[in-house]
Amino acid sequence: MKVPNKVRLTFYLLGFAGAALFTGLLIREGAGQVGSAIATAGWALLAVIAYHFLVPVFLDSLAWWVLFPRAERPRLRRIYWMRWIGESVSTLIPSAAVGGDIVRARLAAISGTPVPVAAATVLVDLTLGVFTQAAFTLLGVVLLVNATGQKSLVGPTIIGTVIGIAAVGGFYFVQRRGMFGFLARMIAKLANSPEWQSLVQSGATLDETVRSVYARRRAAMACCGWTILSLILNSGEIYIALWALNLHATIANAIILQSMALTIRSAAFVVPAGLGVQEAGYFGIACLLGLATNAFKCGEIGLALSVIARVRELGFGIPGLVTWQLIEGRRLLRERTAVVPS
């Protein structure tokens, strides 16, 4: 059996396991009760979609935009729709959450940005984003312990965060040390063909561009600042949902749910769309916080919050995927028209 087939089989099995976990939680809590809780939210579903589109995506766009050198910086509105499409791809297409970053780098290059600059800004944005998310996770842990007194999650969360930071720190180090040029030289040496020498030059150019982006310290700091603000304000979606579910909505609870759910889903990135894992995260944290009403138990509330988040992903992501396909389709049509002899 070929390796790609093994990877595909593993991917399908993980997706099936996630779906089974999701289904098991629904059966345990009662699909009807969860559905009733979601129906209680009503108009909040549209409000959550609109809020995400207007606030977090805009701030994430600013975080990426500031990394571009001024001479090659696209207009913010272009970065905005690229970011929208990239997030749509990462959320809805089973690509281990990195496919959207590749797509937005490609869209930036198609729009006229030099390929090394497009790729380098996405790489730096992605790396700094992971560091910033680690800080957001620790904020969520502090608030969770303060709210519940539960300290059992502190150790595993901190250990996982430290491991993640170390891994990304290693990725940052090899970026600064010329990772892409090294890989290109190794491939060219193994291929033993002069045609591969252009890859070496491309790798060296990308390494130099990545280093130049990191060298702009103020831009890197601004990227981290806009990203952490986006993560915190993204909790506003959960705040809206909690309020619509007739719960005592607090900013602290919204941040706890957002940070913990994001951390759990990121840790389980190999599971397609975090299916089942995200639901289990919301389920557990909602019960730790004691989120319940006279009509709904904490588990039902947790699952309802997760499904609301899924609805937001669909309402936000499907138009993004359609827009992406229209862009790629028009580009392909122009290329085919250009090669047709007159």
Closest CA to 293 of 249, 247, 252: 247
Domain definitions of the chain by residue range: 30-176+216-327
Contact 25, 192 (CB under 8 A): no
Q: What does the pLDDT read at residue 330?
A: 84
pLDDT in tens, 269-310: 777 777 888 888 898 888 888 888 777 888 889 899 998 999
> CA-to-CA distance for 136 and 138, rounded, in angstroms?
5
pLDDT in tens, 178-220: 565 555 554 445 444 454 455 456 777 778 888 889 899 999 9
Contact 200, 18 (CB under 8 A): no
Apex 162 CA angle, 134 and 180, nearest 5? 80
> CA-to-CA distance for 161 and 164, rounded, in angstroms?
5
* Global pTM value: 0.83
Q: What share of the chain is helix, strand, coil (3-state, %, to 5)?
A: 85, 0, 15
pLDDT in tens, 84-137: 999 999 888 765 556 788 889 889 988 888 888 888 898 899 889 988 988 898
> CA-to-CA distance for 116 and 161, rounded, in angstroms?
30
